Amino acid sequence: MTTKKIIYSIILFISLLFIACSTDDEPIAVETQSIETVNDDALLFQFGSQMFTDSMNLDLTIPGYIGDIETWEPRLTLIFYTSAEEEENNWFSIPNVNIEKDYKIYYTSLQNSSESNDIKVQLQAEKFSSAEPFGNPLNFRDINIVAVKVAALQGLTLEDLDLRDFNEVMEYFNLDKE
């Protein structure tokens, strides 16, 4: 009887070890990006259709210069998405809460190093009512990130520009969506 308990304990321990070492909770890394539109004040990064469950990494590389435009100035990162389940032109900003579907989406970002202009953005999806991972797939038709020079926003009010409205941001900075 004691031998069976030891064997069951060893099997349980090995099973827990495999579960704990699983990489299922690792963020999905999305390496492809395109800088579609550039002007003096804003850059538009388009990531296209993406699907993830709990977290996804988006790596942005903002070059020091694009043509004759210097891009090293501090920038505000604005993230927008369209859901594959919604109308095509219905853009949502991140962070966002969807109470009906019981999830919230937010992001964290950090500069990869002090000597580069690379930024890593990680999207996180959690249950609305807790900090538990959402656990269900989210299918985005499009994910777009607009990096806006902080200096271009000085003196603006919400009446001038609503930074949560994708179409308004695109129009204000004369960025081309297509």
Read off the pLDDT of residues 79-119 as tens digits, 9 standing for 90 and up.
Answer: 999 988 887 789 999 999 999 889 999 988 776 666 566 67
Tell me: pLDDT of 34 over 80: no
Of 176, 159, 158, nearest in space to 167 by CA:
176
pTM: 0.74
Map out the domains of the chain as residue ranges: 27-172
pLDDT at 38 (0 to 100): 72
Residue of 66, 10, 17, 38 lying closest to 146 (CA atoms): 38
Cα separation values, 139 from 35, 81, 132, Å: 22, 10, 19
For 111, other C-beta atoms within 10 Å of its C-beta total 13
Query: 103 and 134 in contact (C-beta within 8 Å)?
Result: yes
- Share of the chain residues as helix, strand and coil, in percent rounded to the nearest 5: 15, 45, 40
| pLDDT tens digits, one per residue of 39-77 | 778 888 888 888 888 777 666 666 655 665 666 667 788
